Amino acid sequence: MNFELTEEQIAVRDAARDFAQNVLKEGVIERDNEQRFPKEEIKQLGELGFLGMMVDPKYGGGGMDTISYALAMEEISKVDASVSVCMSVNNSLVCWGLETYGTEEQKQKYLVPLAKGEKIGAFCLSEPEAGSDATSQKTTAIDKGDHYLLNGTKNWITNGSTASTYLVIAQTDVEKGHRGINAFIVEKGMEGFEIGAKEDKLGIRGSDTHTLLFTDVKVPKENRIGEDGFGFKFAMKTLSGGRIGIAAQALGIASGAMDLAVAYSKERKAFGKEINKHQAIAFKIADMATAVETARLMVLKSAWEKDNGLNYDQSGAMAKLYASSVAMAQTVEAVQIHGGYGFVKEYHVERLMRDAKITQIYEGTSEIQKIVISRSVLDA
């Protein structure tokens, strides 16, 4: 067993850290207040190669491993989870899905600009009546010979208005249940495709989460991903890797909050000494460090399994379940360590606490991760 990172992994982590601390930090409070999408920051992230990190260089990507991706996700999420959710969707849902299951034509046309960060992608599974219960798709795509006619509504879509390329899951044959679901590449600007309302959110307020409406959108047949009926498996396989990315995001939120709490505990004095000299605070920091380190080991192990061609469905779900609960619990503690200062925006920890909550909800709620884990354990 080798816990040492390679030189390349360290370089990627340090580059992401540098970008987060020197570029993202300055405007993060303002972007959160104004619910402003980090357009310029995402553009720079793309130029640095962080939007198609794992894609083969022949398709414009960085050719990096999942461990490097997880390390970068942690660093970016320490500072701005609104940026890292965009990064996560583009890398692990859209690029990975297209590279793994797309045709050569689809890769050349859609993957290359996404991997280079010239365009942004969105992954559209959730609907008003199909969230956790993802097989209950109401969006339909009817086979019309050379094209499908797409009708329906997707909601909660990350990168909803900024994306150019949308992977949309829809029911093509109701009678076949989940085996009658397909995934399609839909372009912004296709007739009948409308971007709906933007959500006003508790956390990750800089990310643009939208409802999308499809009315008789003609999607060319060649835009279907995989064999007929592969759409639900496509979504599940893609989400398995996505969960490693969101676990790394949760880890970053937790470790970012810990860094702030540790630094503050060394500065703030009460009763004649630094607050970390009070055992109650020192023990909070011990618990925080232990939980963060455990989450990190789980995230990296799952990434390692993916890099080594092993099944990572269970470890990814476990990493997401655990890291998201650590993010939630430890950001609350970081606010507590800051006292009243933790309750105001200037000190960053209140935002991290608000951002932490979403990691227990998207890409499968914590309850859904427990379904995935328990089925995997019981079926073994």
Binding site for ligand FAD (CB under 6 A): 89, 123-126, 131-133, 156-158, 201, 204, 209, 358, 361-365, 367-368
List 74, 75, 333, 363, catalytic entry:
363
**Strands 209-220 and 147-158, how do they pair?**
antiparallel
The residues, any chain, with a CB within 8 Å of residue 280's CB and separated by 6 or more, are: none
For residue 51, the minimal CB distance to ligand CAA (Å) is 14
For residue 75, the minimal CB distance to ligand FAD (Å) is 21
Residues that bind ligand CAA (CB under 6 A): 85, 89, 123, 125-126, 132, 134-135, 158, 178, 232-233, 236-237, 239-240, 313, 362-364, 368, 371-372
**Which residue, chain included where needed, has tokens 């608000």?**
354
**Which residue, chain included where needed, has tokens 């797409």?**
150
Distance CA 134, CA 235 (A): 9
Residue nearest to ligand FAD (CB): 131
Q: Name which of 137 and 265 has its Cβ closer to ligand CAA.
A: 137
Longest dimension (CA), the chain: 78
Q: Out of ligand FAD, ligand CAA, none, which partner does residue 196 contact, by CB within 5 to 8 A per kind?
A: none
For residue 237, the minimal CB distance to ligand CAA (Å) is 5
Q: Out of ligand CAA, ligand FAD, none, which partner does residue 124 contact, by CB within 5 to 8 A per kind?
A: ligand FAD
For residue 122, the minimal CB distance to ligand FAD (Å) is 6
For residue 134, the minimal CB distance to ligand FAD (Å) is 7
Cβ contact 161:208 at 8 Å: yes
Residue 110 is classified by DSSP as I
Among 97, 129, 139, residue whose Cα is nearest residue 115 = 97
- DSSP-derived secondary structure for 172-214: S-GGGGGGGEEEEEEETT-TTEEEEEEP--SS-TTS-EEEEEE
Among 149, 150, 147, residue whose Cα is nearest residue 139 = 150
Q: Out of ligand CAA, ligand FAD, none, which partner does residue 47 contact, by CB within 5 to 8 A per kind?
A: none
Q: Name which of 80 and 333 has its Cβ closer to ligand CAA.
A: 80
Q: Name which of 268 and 357 has its Cβ closer to ligand CAA.
A: 357
Q: Strand (E) positions, the chain?
A: 121-124, 140-143, 147-158, 165-171, 181-187, 193-198, 209-220, 224-225, 269-270, 273-274
Q: Out of ligand FAD, ligand CAA, none, which partner does residue 51 contact, by CB within 5 to 8 A per kind?
A: none
Distance CA 335, CA 213 (A): 39
Q: Name which of 288 and 373 has its Cβ closer to ligand CAA.
A: 373
Q: Out of ligand CAA, ligand FAD, none, which partner does residue 157 contact, by CB within 5 to 8 A per kind?
A: ligand FAD
Distance CA 28, CA 30 (A): 5
The residues with which 98 forms a beta bridge, in sequence order, are: none
For residue 139, the minimal CB distance to ligand FAD (Å) is 11
User: Is 346 a catalytic site residue?
Assistant: no
Q: Name which of 125 and 258 has its Cβ closer to ligand FAD.
A: 125
Positions marked active-site: 363
